[in-house]
Amino acid sequence: MSLDDPERLRGRLAAERLDARVNEPVQQHVADLRALVDAACEDLRNRRPEIQLDNLGAMSPALVDVAPTELRRCIENLITNAQRYAARRITVRLEYSFATASVTVEDDGPGLPTLKAYAQAWNPARGLPADRKSGSGRGLSIVRQIVDRYGGRVTAGRSALGGAAFGFSLPVVAPS
What pLDDT score was predicted for residue 14? 58
Cα 59 to the chain's mean position, in Å? Answer: 19
Q: What is the pLDDT of residues 85-104, one digit of tens each?
A: 999 999 999 999 889 999 99
Contact between 89 and 174 under an 8 Å Cβ cutoff? The reply is: no
Which pTM does this prediction carry?
0.81
What pLDDT score was predicted for residue 131? 46
Report, as ranges of residue numbers, the positions in the chain whose pLDDT lies below 50: 1-2, 127-128, 130-132, 134
Contacts with 130 (C-beta within 8 Å, 6 or more apart), sequence order: 137
What pLDDT score was predicted for residue 119? 86
| E runs forming strands in 1-126 | 29-32, 52-57, 63-66, 89-96, 100-107
What pLDDT score was predicted for residue 25? 57
Distance from the first to the final alpha carbon of the chain: 47
Domain annotation for the chain: domains and CATH numbers? 6-18+28-171 (3.30.565.10)
